[in-house]
Structure 1
Amino acid sequence: MADHATGKSPIIEEPGVQTPAPEALPKLPDYSTDEVVTKVEHDLIITGDDLAKVQQTAQGLSLEETREVLRDVIQNHENDQNFPIEVLQSMKEFVANDDIIDNPEKYEALIAEMRVEAALIKDDSAYPEVRAVVNNTDDPTLPCSTIRAWTIGIIYVSAGVLINQLFYIRQPSITLEANVAQLLAYPAGKAWEAWVPSWEFKLFGQTHNLNPGKFNKKEHMLITIMANVGFTTPYTTDIILSQFLPQYFNQKYASHFSYQILITLGTNFIGYGIAGLTRQFLVYPAHCVWPSSLVTIALNQSFHTETDLPVPGPFQRIYSTTRLKLFTLAFFGMFLYFWFPGYIFQALSFFSWLSWIAPDNLNLATITGMNNGLGVNPLSTFDWNVLTFDTGSSPLVLPFFFWWNAFVGIVIGAFVVMGLWYTNTYNTGYLPINTPRVFDHFADYYNVSRAIDHRGIFDATKYEAYSPPFLSAGYATVYLFFFAIYSCVLTWTFLYHRHEIWTGLKNLFRRGQDNVLHPDVHNRLMAKYPECPEWWYLLVLVASIGVSLGGVLGWPTYTSAGVVFFGIALCLIFVVPVGIINAITGFEITLNVLAEFIGGAWNQGNALGMNYFKAFGYVTCSHTLRFSKDLKLAHYSKIPPRHTFAGQMIATLVASFVAVSILNFQMTQIPGVCTATQKDHYTCPGINQFFTAAVMWGTVGPKKVFGSGGTYTALLVGFPIGVVVPLAVYFARKYFPTQRWLRDIHPPALFYGGIYYAPYNMSYLWPGVVVSYFSHIWLKTRHTAFWAKYNYVVSAAFSSGVAIAAIVIFFALQMQHVGVDWWGNNVVAQGCEDTPCVRHVLGEGEYFGPRMGEFH
């Protein structure tokens, strides 16, 4: 019988696997006993249909086989917050108690539960989130790499990156996400299926068909993966525009197409080379779930699942609505609703109702304000877009322990911010409390041109006649938490994930079918398809290094080849620790601050050198994680690895050339681009911030800011704090192993909450805690089948509805400068929520901080 929640087909026994005869094994306890069924379903968060499906496999497991499977589970999931602790404790009891082998009749309930869990590990996933949307069967006959998929994919990649690149520098900007391509690919594929003739021909010795039949889920997912990698605006856009334009570095060679394409291809493809080498750590292991990928799979399943049976749910009702119908209703419902918080009634989005009471009250706005304050507000938004402000962080997707840890972190951060601001530490009382901008000692935005020469190199004389840089209280707190999170990640992964890392290292050097070394069902199913050899990825890595060096060394960038290799080294140090945390919890720890810090110190006085270090450190790691997530997406969807490799490579190649072509148009054909008066609003707010950061951390350099005698040297205490906190949690767990709340503490997520400040605040994060509790704690445990069938579909529908509505609003109204002028839109920007308030105001001719001549 098909799974009511997922529509899965019955498990097909794999060839070559000999199942012992059931009569030769100890009798399995009767699953019809209500007590046993209830306990198993509750502890494992498993639906009745999933439980029924694994009975046969469980009956075929001997006690010793069960113990062997569970020993491996304990080793791999000992510190996995996604794995139920009650089940883990039962497993330990089962494995450690030899009396179970001698007297199995005394432990019938425990044996029943453990056999089911072992069967789940063998034939499905231990995680209900994965079982909810990922099939544990495969149909190898489904065509994937078809002319239809390639044509639709390349067209959508070209159109998507064109729009994203064109509007990247506009204010307001617009960004198309891959879910838009996933939505539009379905009608395009069905239209092709209906209208294109079935014409066969041979190419390179293989037979191809223009219309291979029904548009299927593998073709659909391959198109989506192409869009995932192809829609991204290249990071080199910021570097090239800041180089070329006269108001920045005014380096005219940056207009050379060959220079642009070399550094773009280099930074885009280096991530592939490293992603392929990290498959043993981030793709094949079953505990690497990549939660945000489950939404993409759920949306795909909604379009292609034929069996969609009723499930019991809230209010003691049976719900027969299909997932496709629910997606359609939720999508159009959110599409219509988003017009209110997104355009008509924007106060619903920034519901800073406490500050409306007295908009000019400094303390009230500072504590409760959502625009310019700390956002301490129990009811802060009615906008789904605000809840998902951190890319991929839907509260219906990421586990609850992430949200409450991040919330604790942001609360701690609030006290740090208030402490700095109200005591005027670092002269923060003269500045807005929560802004990512950098200021001079006149409380004006820092004018970097007053500290550099005509080449963009640091000028000590001009700097000493001007001002040191100053940070707001919120921005200083962000740096403190960033420093802590970097040392925390390394410490945490050593303490709790060194076994997985060591296993990955051993498997990396073993011969044979790599993914079979990980024995879960998805790896066994994928073993049917030829894997991409490691040397393919190594070749991509070497080629990427080559074109990167050609770009850096072939033009007067005043930068050494070392930036490429040191940046890659930084990525290699952090990519597995950061990737494991991302794959398990769903949030990404970016290396941008660390890359600025190290790159600026290494390239002292050279902003461009720091930019390249940042590109090859931070961007390489970020791309590697994105590509690894897509490899897992293909892994779950049973797309042949070589098709995935080709899709990623070709989509990125096409996107790189399209993006660079549009970039040249922006640079040369848009009059006054990146100036405050540009008539079409191509004012480049992101480029302005990028240029300021480049000069701040590259030209002025972190040594003057954080080094010995620097203004913010004390913030480096974050590094030892990041070591101490995970160690404290580790030893607390050792001494109090049964305390569940200790198991749920996740220091990287806790520190992650603190980096949300400047410009975000508590108002953005708190609603996600509430929604996640409702989904992952209340609904999943009480109505598991209902949650499994609908949760991820609703998340995909809401995000897609917001994306499409935002596009329509942008092109139809905002580009035409059509607005709605009324209280519901204006109240969000009154008093201190419009112009940030400060505690201290300078008098005429005054300035704060070190006196002239006292800083160097």
Structure 2
Amino acid sequence: MATQDGVDQLPKLPAAPSSPTESFDEKKVLEKHQSSDSYLAHKIERGPAYDDDEVEYVNGEPVITSGRDVSRYLVDVRDDGDPALTFRSLFIGTVFAGLGAALCQIYLFKPVQLSVSTVFLLLLIYTVGLAWAKYLPRKEWVEGTRFERLAGAIDFINPGEFRIKEHVVSSLVASTAAYGSTAVMNFAVQRLYYDTNVEATTAVLATFSTACFGYGLVGLLRPLTVYPSEMVYWANLPTVSIFQTLHFDTKENHKRLRFFWTAFTGMFCFEVFPAYIFPLLNGINIVCLSTQHVSSAAQDVITNLFGGTNGNEGLGFLSISFDWQYISSTYMSLPLIQQANSWIGYALCYIIIMGIYYTNAWNSKMFPMLSTSLYSQNGTHYNQQAVFGTTFTLNQTALDTVGLPAITGSNAWSNLAANLSIGGLIAHTLLFWSPYVVESFKQARAKTQPDPHWQVINKNYSEVPWWWYIILLALSFFAGLIVVFQGQTTLPWWSYIISLLLGAFITPFSTLLYARMGNGVATNQLMKMVAGAVNPGKPVANLYFSMWSHDVVSTSIGLAQDLKMGQYLKIPPRAMFLTQIWGTLLGAVVNYVVMISVVDAQRDILLDPRGTNVWSGQEVQSLNSAAVTWSLAKQLYGPHGPYIWIPLGLVFGMIPTTIQWAIARKWPVIGGVKVDSVILPLIYMYSAWMSSGSNSTILSSVLVGLISQLWLRRYHPGWFKKYNYILGGALDGGAQVMIFILAFAVFGASGVPKPFPTWAGNPAQGNVDYCNGNGALD
């Protein structure tokens, strides 16, 4: 969803006909725009569902306000019919899948959780593909010579020009591998907290089961979550724009590629400073630097609010970061109206977390303000091994001796906000979007889906049969069942089935929100609640329950997003099917190998509640804490437990959305704002965004969004269209490749770390940003 503030300023298109009989030569429009810098095409299929009279024009340009407008004006319907699945596309995709998956896994052990830039991967692959096509032997080189018999083999290896569909397939193999897997992180939890090294067979079957079950569901839900125009997946638009620009408009390619490599090289060289040599650049806060000599009590408050460079240090209020690996280009693609929901959440987060801590809610002052670890009631680390032993099952006698675990106030709020988000998500989908759901399935059954890109796909290519997805679901189910019976999961078979059913229920809700708004809410909290209810006293069983139920949701969203990209770019559906399965399996293997390397090398840091500004165990700590606490659901979350409000959040999250819906029915627009554009589940989620990790990048990320989506998009639209997304991909790529190198060269991902010598920009003691309250110098 977008407003005038957050839309692409498109090249001027012909005005809409003043009457149905007015002439309109679409072929000329297409030819004109495909040969121009914009590559934008007018629609091929004209009909009542796509009436130009409904479009708002500003200075002769259409305002992109809906998914229907995206399909009509922003994405070209062109299909050249070029091959997609080739040896070259699969080989290049496989090589870069290793890089993408490795980077993804490394970032799961970082203070800030980030994804690998798809734009970076596609541009890197494009450069390699062009070189492959140009420099490797081609069949015409041997035609008419004594080596002519080799022409077939040479053409198989190098089929000539590197065209758009090969490029897309290579990129999707790599990006699919870079999604990450909850299964692999569960293995890390077992390795760190339960001294259990999961066997390779268990790991392979578990990751296959979780990923491919989600993909099977995606196939069954295609009419709802992929085909319709309103299913945009806004984060796809930079990627789709770059694909079509590189292949449909070649006259500017050399200049754009030179710009990409210049920005990439510049960021690659610069990133070594904030990441290694000069880490103070990760979070400069004037308040921290100017209050070095205040009292200890004041320093503690200042650190909690303004500190944020180190993991779990503070909220990072007003900190400025120059570390692009954490800022990233995310806000260079989402429209302002979408970002505004997160900004409201951020503002609430500062108030709520500080309020919880300093009012001592949930006994917060007994623990650090930010942490995802488990604590005893006296503030020491919780001895979970004494309570659950080697069988990973509750020992009630030991629990009576050790006592119940406790979590920090910020962690409790994070869990409560997650439940509020889930309740709000279900209510928002049912109340605001249910008519759309019914209509989508009716259109799919009648094959009357008006989206022009779906029409091209449906006309030119064979769809994947439903039974392919059903077979995939069956294979995934039995693979998981083998893990349950043969692996070290302690999960009963009937609980495994419940987990899959729960994930299948939540998947359409989550995918709808993500597709329409460009971001979604974390639904794994619901999975943990149900896990605790059906598997009391079994933390490892809870890990696997939430793994299967949540991975179904997260994998489905990622793969549905890729299917939409395939629809926009006219990739044959059967080629997409094989591409995504191959990328998923590659990612699982690489993620598992990198996880073992990092966990073995950085074990002590990953177990430390604070971590460092380089490595952090917050993800595995959070998974373990949730598994342990929800396995004690009756004692902790029951009617007499300290955290009773957390499960009730699921119900309370529905109430404000219901009120909002009632208001929207009577007053759809209030003060110029559409009531249904306020997405309460997103606001809830971002209101707990800073409950753990490094928080010094929030302000910088917001500023990047304002510069890109407000200043550049509105006042420099030509530059924005040509370079905005390429710049974001280049900066992400340069930073991430340098981090990949530093991780193994000096950060100790596979051995002993080699820290940079200490100086003012890399202090020997305390927090990097000089906010040294809470005993940072002890």
User: What range is the shorter-chain TM-score in?
Assistant: 0.7 to 0.9
Residue-by-residue CA offset, 1:334-357 (whole Å, 9 max, x unaligned): 333323322332222212221222
The Cα shift of 1:447 comes to: 2.1
SS in 2 for 1:188: helix
Pairs within 5 Å for 1:227-266: 227-243=174-190, 245=191, 248-250=193-195, 254-255=198-199, 257-266=200-209
Q: Does 1:753 align with 2:694?
A: no
Question: Which range moved further: 228-237 or 637-646?
Answer: 228-237
Unaligned runs of 5+ in 1: 12-19, 29-47, 75-83, 88-108, 310-319, 839-856
2:340 pairs with one of 383, 404, 413: 404
The Cα shift of 1:163 comes to: 7.1
Q: Residues 186 and 543 of structure 2 are in contact (CA less than 8 Å); yes or no, is this contact kept in structure 1?
A: yes
Unaligned runs of 5+ in 2: 1-7, 25-35, 141-147
The Cα shift of 1:441 comes to: 1.4
CA distance in 1, matches of 2:332, 2:105: 30
User: Measured at CA, do residues 635 and 26 of structure 1 come closer, stay the same or move farther in structure 2, by a change above 3 Å?
Assistant: closer
The Cα shift of 1:624 comes to: 0.7
CA distance in 2, matches of 1:619, 1:336: 36
User: Measured at CA, do residues 8 and 530 of structure 1 come closer, stay the same or move farther in structure 2, by a change above 3 Å?
Assistant: farther
Q: Give the corresponding residue for 1:496.
A: 432
CA distance in 2, matches of 1:829, 1:121: 45
Question: Which range moved further: 814-823 or 468-477?
Answer: 814-823
The Cα shift of 1:524 comes to: 2.1
TM-score for the superposition, normalised by structure 2: 0.82
CA distance in 1, matches of 2:376, 2:452: 59
Q: Does 1:329 align with 2:270?
A: no
Residue-by-residue CA offset, 1:482-539 (whole Å, 9 max, x unaligned): 111010001111122112211233345x26xxxx532122112222111111211111
The Cα shift of 1:285 comes to: 1.3
The Cα shift of 1:117 comes to: 6.8
2:21 pairs with one of 14, 19, 25: 25
Q: Give the corresponding residue for 1:443.
A: 379
SS in 2 for 1:445: coil
Q: Residues 226 and 564 of structure 2 are in contact (CA less than 8 Å); yes or no, is this contact kept in structure 1?
A: yes
User: Measured at CA, do residues 421 and 176 of structure 1 come closer, stay the same or move farther in structure 2, by a change above 3 Å?
Assistant: closer
SS in 2 for 1:127: helix
CA distance in 2, matches of 1:219, 1:264: 27
CA distance in 1, matches of 2:40, 2:325: 39
User: Measured at CA, do residues 828 and 178 of structure 1 come closer, stay the same or move farther in structure 2, by a change above 3 Å?
Assistant: farther
2:91 pairs with one of 151, 163, 175: 151
Q: Does 1:822 align with 2:721?
A: no
Q: Residues 334 and 801 of structure 1 are in contact (CA less than 8 Å); yes or no, is this contact kept in structure 2?
A: yes
Q: Does 1:804 align with 2:737?
A: yes
Residue-by-residue CA offset, 1:410-464 (whole Å, 9 max, x unaligned): 3223322222211212211122212222211121222211322331211111112
SS in 2 for 1:287: coil
Q: For the pair shown, which has the larger CA radius of gyration, 1 or 2? A: 1
The Cα shift of 1:154 comes to: 2.4
CA distance in 2, matches of 1:622, 1:202: 49
The Cα shift of 1:821 comes to: 1.7
Aligned letter for 1:306? Answer: D
Pairs within 5 Å for 1:749-788: 749-760=682-693, 763-788=696-721
Q: Give the corresponding residue for 1:188.
A: 128
Q: Give the corresponding residue for 1:619.
A: 551
The Cα shift of 1:302 comes to: 5.5
CA distance in 1, matches of 2:300, 2:592: 46
CA distance in 2, matches of 1:51, 1:677: 48
Question: Which range moved further: 467-476 or 764-773?
Answer: 764-773
1:385 pairs with one of 305, 308, 325: 325
The Cα shift of 1:131 comes to: 4.7
CA distance in 2, matches of 1:234, 1:280: 26
Residue-by-residue CA offset, 1:382-401 (whole Å, 9 max, x unaligned): 3333333xxxx711111212
The Cα shift of 1:773 comes to: 3.0
Q: Does 1:135 align with 2:91?
A: no
Q: Give the corresponding residue for 2:29.
A: none
2:391 pairs with one of 452, 455, 461: 455
CA distance in 2, matches of 1:534, 1:474: 45
Pairs within 5 Å for 1:540-619: 540-555=472-487, 557-619=489-551
CA distance in 1, matches of 2:526, 2:467: 30
The Cα shift of 1:214 comes to: 0.9
SS in 1 for 2:227: coil
User: Measured at CA, do residues 706 and 291 of structure 1 come closer, stay the same or move farther in structure 2, by a change above 3 Å?
Assistant: same
Q: Give the corresponding residue for 2:643.
A: 712
The Cα shift of 1:552 comes to: 0.6
TM-score for the superposition, normalised by structure 1: 0.75
User: Measured at CA, do residues 804 and 455 of structure 1 come closer, stay the same or move farther in structure 2, by a change above 3 Å?
Assistant: same
CA distance in 2, matches of 1:794, 1:199: 36
Q: Does 1:364 align with 2:295?
A: no
Pairs within 5 Å for 1:3-42: 25=21
1:647 pairs with one of 547, 554, 579: 579
CA distance in 2, matches of 1:25, 1:554: 70
Q: Give the corresponding residue for 2:283.
A: 350
CA distance in 2, matches of 1:706, 1:831: 37
The Cα shift of 1:764 comes to: 3.5
Q: Residues 225 and 630 of structure 1 are in contact (CA less than 8 Å); yes or no, is this contact kept in structure 2?
A: yes
Q: Does 1:523 align with 2:454?
A: yes
Q: Residues 372 and 621 of structure 2 are in contact (CA less than 8 Å); yes or no, is this contact kept in structure 1?
A: no
CA distance in 2, matches of 1:377, 1:687: 23
The Cα shift of 1:199 comes to: 4.9
CA distance in 1, matches of 2:133, 2:384: 57
Q: Give the corresponding residue for 1:16.
A: none
CA distance in 1, matches of 2:304, 2:362: 18
Residue-by-residue CA offset, 1:561-616 (whole Å, 9 max, x unaligned): 22332222222222112111111222132222211111112100112221221111
Aligned letter for 1:805? Answer: M
Q: Does 1:539 align with 2:539?
A: no
SS in 2 for 1:193: helix
Question: Which range moved further: 183-192 or 519-528?
Answer: 183-192
Q: Residues 242 and 687 of structure 1 are in contact (CA less than 8 Å); yes or no, is this contact kept in structure 2?
A: no
Q: Residues 350 and 828 of structure 1 are in contact (CA less than 8 Å); yes or no, is this contact kept in structure 2?
A: no
SS in 1 for 2:397: helix
Q: Residues 563 and 612 of structure 1 are in contact (CA less than 8 Å); yes or no, is this contact kept in structure 2?
A: no
The Cα shift of 1:833 comes to: 4.0
SS in 1 for 2:331: coil
Q: Residues 199 and 210 of structure 1 are in contact (CA less than 8 Å); yes or no, is this contact kept in structure 2?
A: no
CA distance in 2, matches of 1:703, 1:643: 49
Q: Residues 609 and 698 of structure 1 are in contact (CA less than 8 Å); yes or no, is this contact kept in structure 2?
A: no
SS in 1 for 2:378: coil
Count residues with an aligned counterpart. Answer: 730
Q: Residues 202 and 208 of structure 1 are in contact (CA less than 8 Å); yes or no, is this contact kept in structure 2?
A: no
Aligned letter for 2:637? Answer: F
Residue-by-residue CA offset, 1:810-846 (whole Å, 9 max, x unaligned): 34443461414211222981698456469xxxxxxxx
1:424 pairs with one of 360, 373, 376: 360
The Cα shift of 1:224 comes to: 0.9
User: Measured at CA, do residues 749 and 653 of structure 1 come closer, stay the same or move farther in structure 2, by a change above 3 Å?
Assistant: closer
Q: Give the corresponding residue for 1:294.
A: 237
Aligned letter for 1:801? Answer: G
Aligned letter for 2:652? Answer: I
| RMSD between aligned residues | 4.3
Q: Residues 212 and 473 of structure 2 are in contact (CA less than 8 Å); yes or no, is this contact kept in structure 1?
A: yes
Q: Give the corresponding residue for 1:217.
A: 164
Q: Does 1:281 align with 2:227?
A: no
Q: Give the corresponding residue for 1:375.
A: 315
The Cα shift of 1:233 comes to: 4.4
User: Measured at CA, do residues 251 and 53 of structure 1 come closer, stay the same or move farther in structure 2, by a change above 3 Å?
Assistant: closer
Q: Give the corresponding residue for 2:27.
A: none
